[in-house]
Chains A and B, each alone.
Chain A
């Protein structure tokens, strides 16, 4: 039966090739869409996971994925620092971040405004590949701190243009540097001012672009020390029990400061939930692509049955039963779909290479489970597509089939 199926496929090389390509394109589309959507989200989630902190504090009703701008006043940081649970201070360090966006590398980038002294929580073991960190010796930060009153405010008009200009510095990651062909010393216009790239850090840090938080606060909030969110480092857990220590602290802290407190480890899940609508679209589009390609297979197999009506009559005269003819149709379709799936996987890897070469900020992940899903869908879909044509073949009247021209 396999011999006959292969002979049929070889006999119609162009149609077989087109069928394999049709399945391949559908499968590649599925893998690319899954790979891109999961890859992009996982890449962002991985970068956020790299921050040396356990909790993320956000305003209530805010979304950790999309939060930006000034959300918390300067009073929150001491509140969080002083937070106690079970009569013991649990917070080791509170890191305020001002989030904004700027256009670099051909697209909007998330900019993290961070105090220079907090950058080690973001860098971890990652190295500065080129240049240095912004706000060398925390000169600008110290200047503003020296001018603040007891409420943390200062008079922004007392800052000279040259002081402002010297503070306008950015650190970017290597991926963005590669995409935008940026190097240390390049100038970027942001907030109507010229920002200088002073350092390039290994990719994998939470933000692709960092600048001094004081600069953002100075230009955008007239020096008011508000932040978008806090990363919170917890003190090491003393007691050995309570495996859900972080969750307990998050719940208690949330109730204490009346803000949303998320576990950093939940960021990935939060991202997936935030983009759940997008996933519905992606799954629907992938599903439609697959249905179309399997309809193509069904049509191909149906056409093959019509073309081979006489041949089916011959096989019946030789004693081929219904199941034989049904299996023959299914085997042909499975061969087409298996080859198509392999081609599709190859196309998907090619697309990954092409996309990531053309758009290095895109991350496409082809996980083994995507390949397994593609193989399963390809083979099962192919089999199902062939059942109706196979059924038609199996039920042809042998005498009428033999008389068919």
Chain B
């Protein structure tokens, strides 16, 4: 039986519309979503259906027009800017399609930056996570010296080094070939299995869907 504390995420009746030149374009129409701790959920759907918008709202990168987001037992959608930044720092991890590593820092510095932002002691955490993702020997390299697959592994290491309550991955395999895509998904699943990192992932790749605990399909701003 599922209890309330089992849920890491609860999204209730979230609406969102983009406004361009005074014209509102609705994107999300009353989304409800719950994720249990340790779950690995994939959201699929056609381009423009609102997947990324939903992920950004859950990740507190943009505010919902209406509805609520509850993360790890706390209502977070009404927080102010500083509160949102704090939640992103302490509860969330992001993995993007374009990796989004800081080009001026080495791989290790990119990973340790996530810890520094939270004021954590480094204590070799960055190196340990880089060992786990197979990049320990590349830790002094700049991102542009890595292959795309390695860059995404580094981005995943940065996202999980703080042990987030929820890992949000927006098309993490979208820029990778099939071999690298499979490898990255293997890594995400391994982290999910071994560390219990709850993961919400968006992908277009249907071949990856069978690796999820649950697959949700979105269409026109609603779950099908």
Using a CB–CB cutoff of 8 Å, the interface residues on chain A facing chain B are 1, 3-4, 7-8, 10-11, 310-311, 313-322, 324, 397-399, 402
Known A324-B117, A402-B96; contact A314-B102, beta-carbon cutoff 8 A: yes
B100 in the interface, Cβ–Cβ < 8 Å? yes
Instruction: Give the segment of B4-12, B82-90, B180-188, B214-222 that binds chain A.
Output: B82-90
| B residues less than 8 Å from A311 (CB atoms) | 102-103
A7 lies within 8 A of B85 (CB): no
B198 in the interface, Cβ–Cβ < 8 Å? no
- Contact among B56, B102, B104, B117 for A319, CB-based, below 8 A: B117
B146 in the interface, Cβ–Cβ < 8 Å? no
B193 in the interface, Cβ–Cβ < 8 Å? no
Interface set, chain B 53-76, CB cutoff 8 A to A: 56, 59, 61-62
Give the CA-CA distance A317 to B104 in the complex, in Å.
Answer: 17
- Interface residues of A: mostly helix, strand, loop or mixed? helix
B113 lies within 8 A of A318 (CB): yes
Known A11-B104, A402-B96; contact A319-B89, beta-carbon cutoff 8 A: yes
| B residues less than 8 Å from A397 (CB atoms) | 62
A4 lies within 8 A of B61 (CB): no
B94 in the interface, Cβ–Cβ < 8 Å? yes
| Identity of the chain A residue whose Cβ is nearest the Cβ of B59 in the assembled complex | A317
B44 in the interface, Cβ–Cβ < 8 Å? no
B82 lies within 8 A of A318 (CB): no
B62 lies within 8 A of A317 (CB): no
Give the distance to chain A from B121, nearest Cβ to Cβ, in Å. 15
- Contact among B62, B81, B96, B104 for A321, CB-based, below 8 A: B81
| A residues less than 8 Å from B113 (CB atoms) | 3-4, 318
B130 in the interface, Cβ–Cβ < 8 Å? no
A399 lies within 8 A of B86 (CB): no
Give the CA-CA distance A398 to B168 in the complex, in Å.
Answer: 15
A4 lies within 8 A of B86 (CB): no
A sample of 5 more A-B contacts (CB under 8 A), given A3-B109, A399-B56, is: A11-B103, A311-B103, A314-B102, A318-B114, A399-B62
| A residues less than 8 Å from B89 (CB atoms) | 318-320
- Contact among A7, A316, A320, A324 for B104, CB-based, below 8 A: A7
| A residues less than 8 Å from B117 (CB atoms) | 315, 318-320, 324
- Contact among A11, A319, A402 for B85, CB-based, below 8 A: A319
Known A317-B59, A317-B88, A320-B85; contact A7-B105, beta-carbon cutoff 8 A: yes
Give the CA-CA distance A317 to B169 in the complex, in Å.
Answer: 12
| Identity of the chain B residue whose Cβ is nearest the Cβ of A405 in the assembled complex | B98
B62 lies within 8 A of A402 (CB): no
Give the CA-CA distance A322 to B80 in the complex, in Å.
Answer: 12
| B residues less than 8 Å from A318 (CB atoms) | 88-89, 94, 113-114, 117, 158
B118 in the interface, Cβ–Cβ < 8 Å? yes
| A residues less than 8 Å from B100 (CB atoms) | 310, 313-314, 317, 402
| Identity of the chain B residue whose Cβ is nearest the Cβ of A321 in the assembled complex | B85
A4 lies within 8 A of B85 (CB): no
B118 lies within 8 A of A7 (CB): no
| Identity of the chain A residue whose Cβ is nearest the Cβ of B170 in the assembled complex | A402
| A residues less than 8 Å from B158 (CB atoms) | 318
- Mask of B186-213 contacts with A, CB within 8 angstroms, 1/0: 0000000000000000000000000000
| B residues less than 8 Å from A310 (CB atoms) | 100
Most chain B CB atoms below 10 A, which of A10, A318, A398: A318
Q: Top 7 nearest A-B pairs by Cβ distance?
A: A319-B89, A319-B88, A321-B85, A7-B104, A11-B104, A314-B100, A317-B94
| Identity of the chain A residue whose Cβ is nearest the Cβ of B112 in the assembled complex | A3
A322 lies within 8 A of B81 (CB): yes
Give the distance to chain A from B3, nearest Cβ to Cβ, in Å. 29
Give the distance to chain A from B174, nearest Cβ to Cβ, in Å. 14
| B residues less than 8 Å from A1 (CB atoms) | 116
| B residues less than 8 Å from A321 (CB atoms) | 81-82, 85-86
| B residues less than 8 Å from A4 (CB atoms) | 102, 104-105, 113
| A residues less than 8 Å from B92 (CB atoms) | 319
Give the distance to chain A from B145, nearest Cβ to Cβ, in Å. 14
Q: Please, could you name 16 A-B residue pairs with CB atoms under 8 Å apart, sorted by A?
A: A7-B102, A7-B104, A10-B104, A11-B104, A317-B59, A317-B61, A317-B94, A318-B89, A319-B87, A319-B89, A319-B90, A322-B82, A324-B117, A397-B62, A398-B61, A402-B61
Give the distance to chain A from B47, nearest Cβ to Cβ, in Å. 14
Give the distance to chain A from B34, nearest Cβ to Cβ, in Å. 23
Give the CA-CA distance A317 to B170 in the complex, in Å.
Answer: 13
Give the CA-CA distance A8 to B62 in the complex, in Å.
Answer: 27
| A residues less than 8 Å from B62 (CB atoms) | 397-399
Give the distance to chain A from B172, nearest Cβ to Cβ, in Å. 14
Give the distance to chain B from A238, nearest Cβ to Cβ, in Å. 75
| B residues less than 8 Å from A322 (CB atoms) | 81-82, 85
Interface set, chain B 104-154, CB cutoff 8 A to A: 104-105, 109, 113-114, 116-118
| B residues less than 8 Å from A315 (CB atoms) | 102, 117
Give the distance to chain A from B218, nearest Cβ to Cβ, in Å. 18
Give the distance to chain B from A402, nearest Cβ to Cβ, in Å. 7
Interface set, chain B 151-169, CB cutoff 8 A to A: 158
Give the CA-CA distance A110 to B85 in the complex, in Å.
Answer: 71
| A residues less than 8 Å from B102 (CB atoms) | 4, 7, 311, 314-315
A7 lies within 8 A of B81 (CB): no
B82 lies within 8 A of A7 (CB): no
| Identity of the chain A residue whose Cβ is nearest the Cβ of B56 in the assembled complex | A399
Give the CA-CA distance A10 to B62 in the complex, in Å.
Answer: 33
| Identity of the chain B residue whose Cβ is nearest the Cβ of A6 in the assembled complex | B104
Give the distance to chain B from A340, nearest Cβ to Cβ, in Å. 21
Give the CA-CA distance A319 to B89 in the complex, in Å.
Answer: 4
